[in-house]
Amino acid sequence: MDADAPIQVESVPLPIAGARLATAAAGIRYRNRADLVLMELAPESTTAAVFTRNRFCAAPVTVAREHLAKDRPRYLLINAGNANAGTGDEGLRAARETCRAVAAMAGCAMSQVLPFSTGVIGEDLPLLPFQRAMPGLFSGLSEDARAWEAAARAIMTTDTRPKRFGCEVELSGGLVRLSGIAKGAGMIRPDMATMLAFLATDAAVDTATLQAVLTEAVEPSFNSITVDGDTSTNDACVLVATGASGVGLCDEEDRERLGLAVGTLCFMLAREIVRDGEGATKLVELVVEQAASVADARAVAYTIAHSPLVKTALFAEDPNWGRILAAVGRAGVDLDIRRVRIYLGDVCIVRDGGRDPDYREEEGQWVMAQDEFEIRVVLGAGTAETRVLTCDLSYDYVKINAEYRS
């Protein structure tokens, strides 16, 4: 077994023994579509999670943190259409009541239920749709892959397509499976988790190891993407290990192999979030190399990624390299501009403090006409580097967000 061998990812989720899912059209905000998901976990499952760092975190984030700290989760409850954020004490009460409704049906402790919400901020969460949906959710629980597919669709808000992947990975004790779903298209900027994502494996993993694996996977994936620079109030990423396969982590190679699989799924889901960015037509990887520190590299990458002038140039397929140059210069890092080089794909556009004398405009235009391409910045100040995925800013982004509550 080669711990570094690439993970073969399927574009569909796989059934995970020990994790059953169901969806319901509860009518929380949307009509005639599923908007509520229940995930039931095997009793011995372990759970790891990371949450938003937004100080105005939503009520379900607060409750999920509390419950995760005191008990072993048995159920995840996820609703779309209402974020239950900015709702004060009433929002906390509502989040706890949704957990109570699940616990009453399941016969478990309320603290064994983790709530998650996504949607419009500042509106009270209606409880009646949850209560009415409970019997159907419990009767519909299934391990089938179609249940994962339905869940991926049910958690969507402004997303245009579901985001879901699955894979199998060989450990020393046998084969284990992983599946993951995510939602997110706007209000996407890291500080964990910038969206909702739920991953599960049938491997047997202790909680501490599972948390370490998730934390490591998040940094180069969900924490390295940005659509619009906004960090949501509701972001969460959850990784569950049901242990139903009976295959555990026997050595460090097993841990590395599982970590690679989780990291690969997280990256694929994160990539799909950016690809599906609200109104996006371009997927751009920003690579910053030879920085004095990782912090400097990320500062440069995110200054470029969040520049409205750069993002609109991406949409226009206009190789206006001056906008990129200006963003690099205002990133707040020490630079010797004579050592900075900037590339569109393999085409050098800036060197020695100005336009590369060999650069031809048609070369830059060809690169920017592609659906996916790379912008590479070489700072010439050290050895640190970073990679960030972003997208363009189109007319449709404004339209989607102007009409979101209409």
**Can you read off the two tokens belonging to residue 359?**
């650069």
- Rama region for 378: left / alpha / beta (φ>0; ψ in -120 to 50; rest): beta
b/e sequence 304-338, b meaning 16+ C-beta within 10 Å: bbbbeebbbbbbebebbbebbbbbbeebebebeee
What's the residue count for the chain? 406
DSSP state, residue 138: H
23 is catalytic: no
Residue 68 burial (CB count, 10 A): 19
Cα(144)–Cα(138) distance, rounded to whole angstroms?
15
Is the Cβ–Cβ distance between 359 and 348 less than 8 Å? Answer: yes
**Can you read off the two tokens belonging to residue 104?**
């009453």
Residue 143 burial (CB count, 10 A): 17
Of the residues 157, 194, 264, 386, which is catalytic?
194
The candidate with the shortest Cα–Cα distance to 42, out of 246, 180, 185, is 246
Positions annotated as catalytic residues are 194
